[in-house]
Amino acid sequence: MKIILCGGGTSGHVNPALNIAKTIQARHPDAEIMFIGTKRGIESTLVPKFGYKIDFVEVSGFSRKLTLKNVKAAWHALTSVSEAKKIIKRFKPDLVIGTGGYVSWPTVKAASKLGIPTLIHEQNAFPGVTTKMLSKYANKVCISFAGSEKFFDEAVRDKLILTGNPVIIDGMSRTEARAKLGLSDTEPYILSYGGSMGADKINELSFALMESLSVPQNIRHTHAIGRVGLEKFSALAKEKGFYNCSNLSIDEYIYDMPVHQAAADVIICRAGAMTLSELAIRGRAAVLIPSPYVTEDHQYKNARLIADAGAAVVFRESEISTKLLSDTVSELLSNPNKRRRMEESVKSFAMPDSVERIADEALALLK
């Protein structure tokens, strides 16, 4: 059995593909799995770290404004399909799975044209342009939220399958995760990140929180800067002396994120669909600061749904301040009962068998 997975740009597209790959590999250890991505995306470093081969095509997104960038994107939209076809013909896969990002477009389209079964997965409630375009080519379209059906053309709705987001349940308890990180059961632990590419606002707020709370109170705090802004914020962390503080850990990316999520008392993060699914599966209290730069403001809508159920605290970027964040985190750390209520509430949003269901649907195409 040979399978190609494609998903790129950010970890929100790459991690679902990796989780699906791991699940299929666990069922079929002899399966040959490879990835197709772009050299600029996080997949170029993330996929090899998990032991999978990856090949690349050149593809880019369109700008909403009329710019020369769109000429380049249009050219890549044409040439990338040919590039993907060459890779597919060499590998000869039995199945191709796409999890979003620009690279899914040429790969899934090329596979479909070659008569290879295809499945795509959409993480967000509001499907991206790539997913909607590919839905007419793919054999199956897995969606993560009930109600997403209305955003697809009626002609493809019979392909839609509600599966949820593919988060692997590793079964690691809070105590086990803390032992792995060298934390006691009673030691407070803050985890913050703005996604694989990073977010200036999250970085700024997290650094300010370290200065006002984590450093003075010697609270363990791990933060991921992200790829964009790494040089700027690494230099700032050095200037502030953060790297000399034994209770602080600052990196570009957290590769063992499930361990840190399981161990954390409070998580500060964006509100992407995969992030919220991970919080639900692991039952963690969170302060959500949705990205204001996404289509239809879907991160805020997702976060509001979680917050209205008492499962998280949500602030828009425009309203959050250092003091407000510090006060909110301090209250959560000092009020374990409130945290427990949030943790129990967020678990109600979990779909624990999502990745297994997606694997079922994918492998069924081989029959």
**Spatial separation of the C-alpha atoms in residues 363 and 43, rounded to whole Å:** 23
**Is the same domain home to 15 and 152?**
yes
Give phi and psi for 346, each to the nearest 5.
-70, -25
Report the largest interatomic distance among the alpha carbons of the chain, rounded to a whole angstrom. Answer: 61
**Is the same domain home to 103 and 219?**
no
Domain count, the chain: 2
Residue 66 has pLDDT above 80, yes or no: no
**Is the same domain home to 152 and 188?**
no
Share of the chain above pLDDT 90, in %: 84
Residue 70 has pLDDT above 80, yes or no: no
Residue 153 has pLDDT above 80, yes or no: yes
Distances (CA, A) of 141 to 3, 13, 149, 162: 17, 15, 10, 9
Q: What is the pLDDT of residues 106-117, one digit of tens each?
A: 999 999 999 999
Q: What is the pLDDT of residues 178-220, one digit of tens each?
A: 999 999 999 999 999 998 888 999 999 999 999 999 999 999 9
**Is the same domain home to 314 and 356?**
no
**Is the same domain home to 26 and 134?**
yes
Q: Residue 61 sits in a domain of what CATH number? A: 3.40.50.2000
**Is the same domain home to 151 and 58?**
yes
**Spatial separation of the C-alpha atoms in residues 293 and 191, rounded to whole Å:** 23
**Is the same domain home to 153 and 212?**
no
Q: How confident is the model at residue 73 (pLDDT cuts 50, 70, 90)?
A: low
Distances (CA, A) of 283 to 184, 304, 325: 19, 17, 21
Q: How confident is the model at residue 63 (pLDDT cuts 50, 70, 90)?
A: very low
Q: What is the pLDDT of residues 231-259, one digit of tens each?
A: 999 999 999 999 999 999 999 999 999 99
- Domain range for 302: 174-347
Judge if pTM exceeds 0.85: yes
**Is the same domain home to 276 and 326?**
yes
Ranges of beta strands (E only) in the chain are 2-6, 32-37, 53-56, 95-98, 118-122, 140-143, 160-162, 189-193, 220-224, 248-251, 266-269, 286-288, 313-314
**Spatial separation of the C-alpha atoms in residues 29 and 276, rounded to whole Å:** 30
**Is the same domain home to 91 and 8?**
yes
Beta partners for residue 37, in sequence order: 56
**Is the same domain home to 195 and 156?**
no
Q: What is the pLDDT of residues 329-338, one digit of tens each?
A: 999 999 999 9
**Is the same domain home to 141 and 217?**
no
Beta partners for residue 201, in sequence order: none
Give phi and psi for 365, each to the nearest 5.
-65, -25
Indicate the DSSP class of residue 243.
G
* 3-class secondary-structure state, position 197: coil
**Is the same domain home to 188 and 107?**
no
Q: What does the block give as tokens for 192?
A: 């913050």
Residue 77 has pLDDT above 80, yes or no: no
- Return the amino acid letter for 80: S
